[in-house]
Structure 1
Amino acid sequence: MKNKTVKVGAFNVGLQRYWMQFPGLEERLAGYHQRFVDRLKEFGVEVISPGLVDTVDKARQAAQLFKAEDVELIFCNVTTYVYSSVVLPVAQAHPVPLVLVGLQPSSAMDYPRATTFEQLAHDNCTSLPEIGYALTRAGLPYNVLFGRLDGDQRVWQEIEDWCWVARVLHDLRYANLGYMGHAYEGMLDMYFNPADFHNAFGMNVKMLELCDLKERVDAVSDQEVQQMLATIRDFFEFPPPGADPIAGPVTEDVLEYSARVAVGLERLVEDFDLSGMAYYYVGSDGSEYERLAASLIVGNSLLTGRGIPIAGEADMKNCIAMLIMDRLGAGGSFAELHPVDFDGDFVLVGHDGPGHIKISDQKPILRGLSLYHGKKGYGASVEFKVKTGPVTLLGLTQTQSGEFKFVVAEGESMPGPIPATGNTNSRVKFPVSVAEFVEKWAEAAPTHHFALGIGHRKAQLKKVAKALGMEMVVVGE
């Protein structure tokens, strides 16, 4: 996906008859709105603002502007009382997430010196219920934030979170996700209907052949291979083997072929303008395609670290979960539940193969696996753990009726050793016991894969789910 600017709309509202009654009030409120717009820009979005909307006609014009500019969400800055009829046309004409914001310019009025003018300049909450009623009657969803214009960390964090949501919505809507190969036979949670993703997220699923990749791998020059080898050697560590007999050193032949495939994979992503990809392929014993499909892990990890999630076992749902987490700044590494440590009350979280190597505070490790458990082939595999501190699990699943659902958990990545098996693994602890967590997580019916990201992201993910009209379940609170 070619980079596109993320745009949000922002307009302020007020009662038109105030301007003649209280000279200077309109200008005062315009100043407050400009400060709001300037602060939004600090969050890395382009702000489309028609300025003051105080009539139905201006509301319709604002809606057309937002539609023409293709904004992802709209902030309605309630700078004083306004009729709800002035807000409704914007929500009706351009149905993107609407956030009603009331930001009082000071903590309190100076009561002995208070005037009606000052009261109106502080009337940021008065019409919020009325607007909410009108939107509810119209069947239109909305969100409400209220606080102070200055010095209110809580409300401004909420506003910033909505700007992150705008990035997610934008990149989902413009996403081209490749699907190469076929589902892992028997993993019923990996099966999917591509049309479901088009309908729910607005994205495009591109059907790719392994031949598309092979053509590009075959065209890679020796010079390009050497350049990629230098990148790999600089980025990864190559420690001596541990206790696992199938996890040895990476041979030069395996490393060189992995580098060649990594270059071809980059070219595939560029040629098809991919935002991410889900893949799985078996191949006949000893065939070229078997080797090719087994040699994607290094290239996958490098691409995922650049914000282009590559999901193995053809897990398109988790590819989207990884994309969402990445666009929230959390990373999003391909993961599943591994063995539990009952003594330490934590579970190992990771997967064989690739991971999001940018969310670790240590150099990732490359090991040579003589076999991939449960799969065919052999080759290089990535081993690392995410940095210690808060983490979030995001599973994207489907209900019995086929609706998408978020399954979310927040925990802590703990320090300590992980197995030297060429797999990603992190020691994750939750607020509840590890046994209770596993029970409740499974009862929420996620797929067995999820995206592991850094930071506690529940609040942001709740907004994303609401913006997409999807259910979200939180496990382990």
Structure 2
Amino acid sequence: MNMQQPIKPVKKARIGLYTIGLAAYWQQFPGLRERLLEYGRFLKSKMSEFGEIHDYGLVDSEGEGRKAGEWFQERNVDLIFCHSGTYSTSSAVLPVHQICKAPVVVLNVQPTARMNYAETTTGEWLAHCGACPVPEISNAFARAGIAFRVVNGLLGLDYTPAISLADEKTHDHPAAKRSWAAIQEWIRAASVPRTLRHSRFGFLGNTYSGMLDMYSDFTMIQAQTGLHVEILEMCDLDRLLREVTDSEVKAKLAEVQEMFTISEDVPADPIARRPTDEQMEWSCRVAAAQERLVREYDLDALTYYYHGAPGSTYEKLQSGFIVGHSLLTARGIPCAGEGDLKTAVAMKICDILGTGGSFSEIVVVDYEDETILLGHDGPFHIAISEGKPVLRGMGLYHGKQGTGVSVEAKVKTGPVTTLNVTQTGEGRLKLIISEGESTNGTIMKIGNTQTPVKFRRHPDEYMEQWFHEAPTHHCAMAIGHQAKLFQKVAELMGLAQVTL
């Protein structure tokens, strides 16, 4: 088995697609209708790499627009692309979106970079004038109160249709690459609300006492994201722990040995030691119980915290959490500590999009390198690690009860994006997005995840701006520069966002 194979697959977005034109053209210009439908089939084929595509075909009249709206509504699409193939009256387009309320993106993607001006006919020109109706359509949408987005650029064919008088092989043209990057981002972004609407987030224990930024109203979370919060008790996990077999523990130990490096003692920090055999066995036993919990309650993510009374059964149980929760995070079940449900949402968004999403907070500022170290005492998203993460035995968990095994790691060197999900005073969720670079700077050997990040502004200026947005103090760290992608997620979910 692939150790990072997702426990539950991400749901692909359901995407509606249709091409527009004017019915009066078809008899006047033979072959134009078929040519536009060919372009539509190309769009469907390429879009199918990223989502589940439902192509209605051609909408060329007000009546056909109503039929298309009903058709998309029946298929419960998450997003609709209106391909502006040639001129069309806005009266044909508006009914589609008055009936089906899915968000709409208008595709103004011209087939050629330059027309063959000397030989072009009226019919040839009409196959390339997709931009012509877009202002009219935009005006109709605005006056009807329908939000819309437009992607401009080139279609990106890798061949030229026989009917064409111009060179339509534009797949390597920068304008085609830009348009397809945007199309791909919209489709990927649409998978987030679909997946969240079908997700079950476990809430195990409680929120760390006094962390007022992290307290969440479960009804508010469901109202704005569609996800269900399943409230779990430590006795649920304890019951499953008692059912774990020795063979499950052995299998978990093999998984851990493949994915982690086991540390030695750290002279600089007396509480950071090589994990004992007993600590490793306990962490693997708890990890097996944690996976049982996810499967029994059909969870898509988990947030947790439980300090436990000193010397109690639950204190010992929570001391083994970090390793198992890191394993689950690597397999598509993000786990957020300290009962931070909003950051679990941020981590899940990152994971749905295939960009990681590791649990982080500000650790310290390095004013010499002008980096901010971001990390936590666990869990960690192993799939985006720079090399193998290290497991360290901890003589204590700072600010918490008990001892156990913790993860020390950094996110891959290169472009990264932090995603913070916070809540405004009005009770609305808001995304705070920041792009930066993960550097190869030195980190501490204290059993915590740490990634030195150089943001686009000096650390002091960045922190001033970030704090001004009133963030939740944790965030999810994703690999790659993902601001445009996360902005699209916010728009499709109807959430406010700010990019720093």
- TM-score in terms of structure 1 length: 0.97
Query: Secondary structure of 1:257's match?
Result: helix
Q: Is 2:190 aligned against 1:166? A: yes
CA distance in 2, matches of 1:280, 1:126: 57
Query: Within 5 Å, which residues of 2 pair with 1:254-273?
Result: 254-273=279-298
Alpha-carbon distance in structure 1 between the residues aligned to 2:74 and 2:276: 55
Deviation at 1:362, TM superposition (A): 0.4
Question: Is 1:191 the counterpart of 2:197 in the alignment?
Answer: no
Name the counterpart of 2:468: 443
Indicate the residue corresponding to 2:163 in structure 1.
Answer: none
Counterpart in 1 of 2:348? 323
Q: Tell me which moved more, 456-465 or 168-177.
A: 168-177
Q: Secondary structure at the match of 1:111?
A: coil
> Residues 92-171 of structure 1 correspond to what in structure 2 (within 5 A)?
92-150=98-156, 151=171, 152-171=176-195
Q: Spell out, residue by residue over 1:384-408, the C-alpha distance to the aligned partner (whole angstroms, 9 max, x if none).
A: 0011000001101111111111111
SS at match of 1:447: coil
SS of 2:363's equivalent? strand
Task: Find the aligned partners of 1:428 and 1:102 in 2 and give their Cα distance.
Answer: 38
Which residue among 303, 313, 316 is the counterpart of 2:328?
303
Letter in 1 for 2:256: I
1:314 shift after superposition: 0.6
Letter matched to residue 74 of structure 1: I
Among candidates 74, 78, 89, match of residue 80 of structure 2: 74
- Does the alignment pair 1:229 with 2:253? yes
Partner of 1:178: 202
Structure-2 residue corresponding to 1:314: 339
Conservation of the 8 A alpha-carbon contact between 1:241 and 1:420 = no
Contact in 1 for aligned 2:263/2:275 (Cα 8 Å): no
Distance 1:2 1:359, change over 3 A: closer
Residues 2 and 273 of structure 1 are in contact (CA less than 8 Å); yes or no, is this contact kept in structure 2? no
**Which amino acid is 1:253 matched to?**
E
**In the alignment, does 2:246 pair up with 1:249?**
no
CA distance, structure 1, for counterparts of residue 411 and residue 239 of structure 2 = 34
State which of 57, 64, 74 in structure 2 corresponds to 1:58.
64
Q: CA deviation at 1:296?
A: 1.1
2:424 to 399, 403, 416: 399
Partner of residue 288, structure 1: 313
Distance 2:181 2:381 in 1: 26
Contact map agreement 1:102 1:145 (CA 8 A) in 2: yes
Q: 2:405 aligns with which of 374, 377, 380?
A: 380
Equivalent residue of 1:74, what SS? strand
Write the deviation string for residues 332-358 of structure 1: whole angstroms up to 9, x where unpaired: 000001111111111111001211011
Q: Deviations over 1:23-53 (max 9, x none)?
A: 111001111111111111123x111111111
Q: Which amino acid aligns with 1:355?
A: F
Change (3 A) 1:100 1:351: same
**Hey, what's the Cα distance between the residues in 1 that align with 2:142 and 2:297?**
42
Give the C-alpha shift of residue 59 in structure 1.
Answer: 2.1
Match of residue 55 from structure 2? 49
C-alpha displacement at 1:3, in angstroms?
A: 5.3
Q: Secondary structure of 2:208's partner?
A: coil
Contact 2:11 2:191 in 1 (8 A): no
Indicate how the Cα distance of structure 1 residues 413 and 5 shifts in structure 2: closer, same or farther if over 3 A, else same.
closer
Query: Which is further off, 216-225 or 52-61?
Result: 52-61
User: How big is the shift at 1:132?
Assistant: 1.1
Task: Report Cα offsets for 1:294-327 as digits up to 9, x if no partner.
Answer: 2111110011111110101110100000011112
**Distance 1:411-1:303 versus aligned 2 partners, 3 A rule:** same
CA distance, structure 2, for counterparts of residue 3 and residue 408 of structure 1: 22
Alpha-carbon distance, 1:66 to partner: 2.0
**Whole-Å separation in 2 of the counterparts to 1:383 and 1:62:** 53
Any idea what the Cα deviations from partners look like across 1:160-208, whole Å, max 9, x if unmatched?
1111102212211111111111111110011010011111111111111
Q: Secondary structure at the match of 2:419?
A: strand
In structure 2, what is the equivalent of residue 206 of structure 1? 230
Q: 1:421 aligns with which of 426, 446, 455?
A: 446
Say whether the 8 Å CA contact 2:386–2:409 is kept in structure 1. Answer: no
Q: Distance in 2 between matches of 1:255 and 1:308?
A: 22
Shift of 1:57: 2.8
State the identity as a percent.
45
Shift of 1:64: 2.4
State the Cα deviation string for residues 97-155 of structure 1 (Å, max 9, x = none): 21100111111221111211011111111111111111111111111011111231111
AA aligned to 2:133 is S
Q: Give the secondary-structure state (helix, strand or coil) at the position aligned to 1:380.
A: strand
Distance 1:307 1:86 in 2: 42
Q: Distance in 2 between matches of 1:328 and 1:5?
A: 10
- Who is 1:31 aligned against? 38
Partner amino acid, structure 1, of 2:120: A
Computed over aligned residues only, the root mean square deviation of the Cα atoms, in angstroms, reads 1.2
SS at match of 1:50: strand
1:377 Cα shift?
A: 1.2
Corresponding letter in the other structure for 1:81:
Y
430-439 or 384-393, larger mean C-alpha shift: 430-439
Unaligned runs of 5+ in 2: 1-7, 157-170
Structure 1: gaps spanning 5 or more residues: none
Q: Following TM superposition, by how much is the alpha carbon of 1:63 offset from its aligned partner in structure 2, in angstroms?
A: 2.2
Q: Deviations over 1:367-394 (max 9, x none)?
A: 0111110111111100100110000011
Using the TM superposition, name which of 60-69 and 171-180 deviates more: 60-69
The residue type paired with residue 266 of structure 1 is E
SS in 1 for 2:36: helix
Distance in 2 between residues matched to 1:423 and 1:235, nearest whole Å: 17
SS in 1 for 2:261: coil
Letter in 1 for 2:288: V
Q: Helix, strand or coil: the match of 2:216?
A: coil
Task: Tell me, in whole angstroms, the C-alpha distance in 1 between the residues paired with 2:350 and 2:476.
Answer: 7
How far the C-alpha of 1:418 sits from its partner, in A, is: 0.8
Residue identity in the other structure for 1:109:
M
What is the total number of aligned residue pairs between the two structures? 474
Q: How does 1:339-350 map onto structure 2 within 5 Å?
A: 339-350=364-375
Residues 216, 264 of structure 1: 8 Å contact kept: yes
